[in-house]
Each structure stands twice: as C-alpha cells, then as structure tokens.
Chain A
Amino acid sequence: DSGVTQTPKHLITATGQRVTLRCSPRSGDLSVYWYQQSLDQGLQFLIQYYNGEERAKGNILERFSAQQFPDLHSELNLSSLELGDSALYFCASSSTGTGSEAFFGQGTRLTVV
C-alpha cells in the first residue's frame, strides 16, 4: 500500500458527461501529480499541484481541470467526455515538489461509453 488513495476505482459514464476523480495523498506529502495511462499513449503527465497551487502542466486538455484543496486532497474534473478519454487515471504524491520520489495510487479506471 503506497498510502495514496484514489476514488472511485472504476467509473463508467456516457459521452458528454462530467466526472470527478479524487485523490488523497500520503500523509505529509504536499505535491500531487495526475497522470493518464492509455494503451496507445502510455503514461502522460497531466498536472501537478504543490501545497494548493498549480506547479506544472502537461498534456492536459482544456476540458479537464484539477485543484488541490487546503487539506491537500486533489480532484481531477473531466467534462464533455469523449470515448477517447477512457483510460486509467493515476494520482501520485511526493513530499516536496523538488525531485523526491513519487508514490502512486491504485488508479481510477474510467470507461466512457
């Protein structure tokens, strides 16, 4: 167990809908990262938050947004969902935003039908 908790584990929704994925980092970790893993594109970095503030942005679509709350948990919001958004979404946390190793959650498997 990495100490990073993601909910829900599985999500099935229809195209055009909006979903929210939740991540609770390891106790004491200030940095949260979101990744999308799909068969054809591998592990893609989406966005990073550090202590409530956006720190880095990767290949995140405009339809996606995220935030980190004062208690350090994070949510990834995906809207106007398309079939191609079906993927495994991982959250990771690290103690700082400056190079320490990241610990991954079990992921949320999103299926858009």
Chain B
Amino acid sequence: AQSVSQHNHHVILSEAASLELGCNYSYGGTVNLFWYVQYPGQHLQLLLKYFSGDPLVKGIKGFEAEFIKSKFSFNLRKPSVQWSDTAEYFCAVNALPGGTYKYIFGTGTRLKVLA
C-alpha cells in the first residue's frame, strides 16, 4: 500500500538554526508532492508543491523542498528558522494507485523553535 514516512516526529531548534525534515514515500508511479503546515489551533495550509519540472521547489516563508526521484524523497528545508515557524509539518503525496487519485499524509513532524 502507498505510504508516506516522516522520520522526525519532534524537532526542537533554536532560532536561526537550519531545518531539514525528511519525507519518503512508497509509490512507483507518477506522484504529486506537497508540504503542508499546521500552526497551533489552525487548519493545514499549503507550504509548497511539486508536480513536475525543477525538482527544487520554493514555497512560502522561505521554505524549499527537493524531490529526489531515485530516493523517493521530498525533504523540506529552511536555512534559518524563526520562532514563528513553530508548527506541525505534514508531507503528502497525491498519487494514482488503481486509477484514483488520493492524498496520503505522513504522520507529521512537530517543530518547536526556541527564541
């Protein structure tokens, strides 16, 4: 079955530290890839997405992600985090198993940034 793995469940960083959150998926066909962020008490919001083309995609708030097809990975990065980046981050894959698109989310990574 298709799945998405986020390796870090909890991450604590100091402000200005660099961030990398891992995401791997298991599906051999065409995929669309997303990172969503959920700030405390809020709904999920799209950070960035990859459909095709340049595997390095840039999103909002200084986030970027790199799609590495050979590794089935789509890691999220930010060079310098801020206290306001404290949130939960979800990687998601939208794939076409059996002819029907559906979104599969990872379990999420809770990021806490210390001021």
A residues bordering B, Cβ < 8 Å?
A: 2, 4, 33, 35, 42-43, 45, 48, 55-56, 58, 90, 92, 97-99, 101-107
Contact = CB atoms under 8 A, between A and B. Distances in A.
Interface in B3-61: 32, 34, 36, 42-46, 49, 51
B44 A99 contact: no
B94 A99 contact: yes
Interface of B: 32, 34, 36, 42-46, 49, 51, 90, 94, 96, 100-108
Interface of B is mostly: strand
Contact of A99 (B43, B101, B108): B101
Contact of B101 (A56, A58, A90): A56
A48 B43 contact: no
A96 to B, nearest CB: 8
Given A106-B42, A107-B43, A43 B90 contact: yes
